[in-house]
Amino acid sequence: MKKGKLLLVLVIVLTFLGGIYTGVQFSSNKQQEKQIVIKNAPQSALKPQTKELPKVEKTHSKVLIGYIQDFRDPNQVDYSQLTHVIFSFAHPTKDGGILLNGDSALKNLRTTVANAKKYNTKVILAVGGWFHINGGETYPYFKAAISNPVSRTKLVNELTSLADRENLDGIDIDFEHPHSKADAENLAAFAKQLSAQLHPKKKELSVAVYSKIHAVTLTEIGFVQYEPSMFKAVDHVNIMAYDGQWDDGYHAANLSPYPFTEKIVNYWSQLFDGQNISKEKLVLGVPFYAQPKDPKIKQVSYGAIIDQNPANANSDTVNMNGTTYYYNGAATMKKKTKLALDHGFGGMMIWELGLDAKGSNSLTSSISDTIDKSSNSPVKYYTVVNAQ
């Protein structure tokens, strides 16, 4: 029995030592194999290719539209904060032609397009405006052009051709203002015909409209008329919620105070709800200029006010040039932006970009920041399209 036990112990010991030796050998062989594989790994004959980034298209939760006049330096605009720039103006002729303000205007338009494309910002050309290149108000020229089917068609074709040729993203109609039912019907016919030309080309159509509210009585004004069906043909309705200083005589304080804007927003909200038109088309316009209490003194830009004293950024009045100026400072702009968004509006409109202050006191930045904070997504974000 003792010999048997001794033999059993010897077998166990030898088995244990053999297992250790086998494990060491296996580990050593695997390490050598690993080293050999790494050392002798064949180099791929295929080199990775550098692919172009997929095309991106800007989409947005809310629009921020800025008008810019044709004599401004397009290189001074901060396109990164804007979804649309509206270049102002093309001037209609009575026979349906269009005029630009010389070679400098065309050059500035092309520079605007080139700069805006870097930021995927859309460029729209406005036709109309208050003053005409040939003198006086634009109203009689525009009225004549859209009242006759022949000249109306010519104007539609001229604008569409220009939009194609200059790589524009659309047209903005600025007819100030239809004074009769016939005017309203002709404007609607013009908008529908132009829409039918632009939309198949994936170009936009917007229309600038009078506020329709009296700044003193805060009631609806009847001397400007619109055919509501027109609004179904356009992408944006840019409400000029300013210039109330001319209502009931001259009162600079009525330029664009908050209660006036509140009535405007309520009016257009109810109109669009009643017509079953999306309020996302509505864009609230705000002024970037100051109106003097003394009408003999010229308007000044918000930028000029800030240049004199940056502390005026959050005020709505300032004493300059021997008079009091009324304007909308940053606090009021933020409040108006929230008002528009709370009512379901599609965004904000600026008249006009060349009047803004630079740097941290920019009203454009104030509006853009408020849109960012008030919505679930920023003014602009990007989605990948046509990715290969």
User: Which stretches in the chain have pLDDT values below 70?
Assistant: 1-60, 375-388
Spatial CA neighbour of 15 closest among 23, 4, 5: 23
In a domain, 33, yes or no: no
Tell me, letter by letter, the H, E, C secondary structure of 134-202. CCCECHHHHHHHHHCHHHHHHHHHHHHHHHHHCCCCEEEEECCCCCCHHHHHHHHHHHHHHHHHHHHHC
Residue 106 lies in a domain: yes
Contacts of 285 (CB under 8 A, 6+ apart): 208, 238, 239, 240, 241, 242, 348, 349, 350, 351
Whether 21 is covered by a domain: the verdict is no
The DSSP letter of residue 358 is P
pLDDT, position 301? 98
Nearest Cα neighbor of 61 from 385, 371, 383, 384 is 371
Within the chain, how many helices (H) and strands (E) appear? 9, 15
pLDDT at 376: 59
* Predicted pLDDT at 49: 54
CA separation, residue 196 to residues 145, 234, 281 (Å): 18, 10, 18
Taken in order 119, 105, 162, 183, the sign of the CA dihedral is: positive
Q: Specify the pTM.
A: 0.83
* Cβ-proximal residues to 188 (8 Å cutoff; 6+ apart), any chain: 226, 227, 229, 230, 233
Q: What was the pLDDT predicted at 61?
A: 82
For 140-158, write each residue's pLDDT tens digit: 999 999 999 999 999 999 9
Instruction: Indicate whether 10 belongs to any domain.
Output: no
The enclosing H or E element of 61 equals: none
Domain carrying residue 108 = 56-378
Closest CA relative to residue 139, chosen from 181, 104, 187: 187
Q: Is residue 23 part of a domain?
A: no
Sheet with strand 317-320: strands edge to edge = 300-301, 289-292, 323-326, 317-320
Judge whether 387 lies within some domain. no
> Which pair of tokens denotes residue 251?
């009162």
**CA 207 and chain centroid, separation:** 14
Q: Which amino acid is at 375?
A: S
For residue 334, count other CB atoms closer than 10 A to its CB.
20
DSSP class per residue in 207-230: EEEE--B-TTT-SB--SS---GGG
Contact call for residues 62 and 96 (beta carbons, < 8 A) = no
Cross-strand partners of 371: none
State how many domains the chain has: 1
SS3 50: coil
The Cβ-side half-sphere exposure at 309, using a 13 Å CA radius, reads 8
- Asked, for residue 268, whether it belongs to a domain, the answer is yes
User: Quick one: DSSP state of residue 329?
Assistant: -
CB 66 within 8 Å of CB 115: no
Residue 48 forms part of a structural domain: no
Q: Rounded CA gap, 314 and 169, in Å?
A: 35
Query: Which CATH number belongs to the domain containing residue 163 in this structure?
Result: 3.20.20.80
Q: How far apart are CA 92 and CA 228, in angstroms?
A: 23
